[in-house]
Amino acid sequence: MSYGFLDIASTPSVKAAQAANGSAEQWSDFRGNRAFDRFTPSEVQFIAERDSFYMASVSETGWPYMQHRGGPAGFLRVLDDKTLGFADFRGNRQYISVGNIAADDRVALFLMDYPNRRRLKILAHAEERDLTSDPELSQRLAIPDYNAKVERAMLFHLEAFDWNCPQHITPRYTQDELTPILEPVRERIAELEAENKELRRRLGAR
């Protein structure tokens, strides 16, 4: 059966490492079907909730480069069941990823959901697109009221994706995620402070 992500990732040296660590049979005899080559509603929803991701590319000298990309939740858009896209904001202007992709368009994306301990890995071909010459794409990737300069569109044409197990993911929460969780605590603290104030007033009046 197919395991799309591992079919791509399992080079001879990877298979040798699996054999050396006793897991070669586990993957060579895999009986399931994990040929994830199209996004389903589950991936669409997961991607729409993310406010960041990590992107790996490889330089012409063979060095890997990992870059963090962030924005408002949903800034990475599912354009169709095999294509992602986002408006690429200006950063430190080193353009390492842009240069790497010009020479080799293969990238790996890593999307994290820390509170729920989920992670999505994606292998894709990246494509830089000039938004000034593509008004329709510009509209689809637009993020109104977000204070950032958009330099280009970046598209990702899916090859394969895979979901990882939750082992060893430490839950972490953003400020927006903590707000509804902490609101009852804040309300209770306010109630207790009001009660203390009233008790002090009554004691002072005696």
How do residues 126-157 score in pLDDT, each as one tens digit?
Answer: 999 998 888 899 999 999 888 888 889 999 99
User: Which amino acid, one-letter code, is at 82?
Assistant: K
Smallest CA-to-CA distance from 55 within 90, 80, 86, 78 is with 86
**What is the rounded distance in angstroms from the CA atom of residue 57 to the CA atom of residue 105?**
8
What's the pTM value of the predicted model, to 2 decimals?
Answer: 0.84
HSE-CB at 105 with a 13 A cutoff on CA atoms is 12
- Is residue 126 within 8 A of residue 101, CB to CB? The reply is yes
Helices (H) and strands (E) in the chain, counts: 7, 7
Task: Provide the mean pLDDT of the chain.
Answer: 90
A 10 A CB-CB count for 9 gives 14
How do residues 35-89 score in pLDDT, each as one tens digit?
Answer: 788 999 999 999 999 999 999 999 999 999 999 999 999 999 999 999 999 999 8
Q: What's residue 206's pLDDT? A: 65
